[in-house]
Structure 1
Amino acid sequence: MRIEVNGTPRDIAAATVADALSELGWGEARVATALNGDFLPAASRPMQALRDGDRLEVLAPMQGG
């Protein structure tokens, strides 16, 4: 299926947000996610199905001052 990840179209095989994060290399990373503009808690990722055309935003925490 084709989804948009951080503004870039991507073809993925994953069916859920958790699987997509693993497929895209963020499987063990501590990140924040939003699906179609709505915050998605980490606990919901394994159950959240993806559909063709979804927009997934993945944000990693930044350090600094």
Structure 2
Amino acid sequence: MVRWFHRDLSGPDAETLLKGRGVPGSFLARPSRKNQGDFYDLYGGEKFATLAELVEYYTQQQGILQD
């Protein structure tokens, strides 16, 4: 299992986990309970066909994501 993927974590729990244990550059991924579909995105932004593509894009775009 990939350490950054959390299948059963809610949005608020994800935020708590990152605020408590995260360091700059930390991230985690989880399935959306509200917006299920055949693509991956962050808050309605750029859409990707695979989770790997999303992670690669945002890890290469340092500083694009904010708290």
TM-score with structure 2 setting the length:
0.25
Higher strand share: 1
Structure number with higher relative contact order (C-alpha < 8 Å, ≥ 6 residues apart): 1
Higher helix share: 2
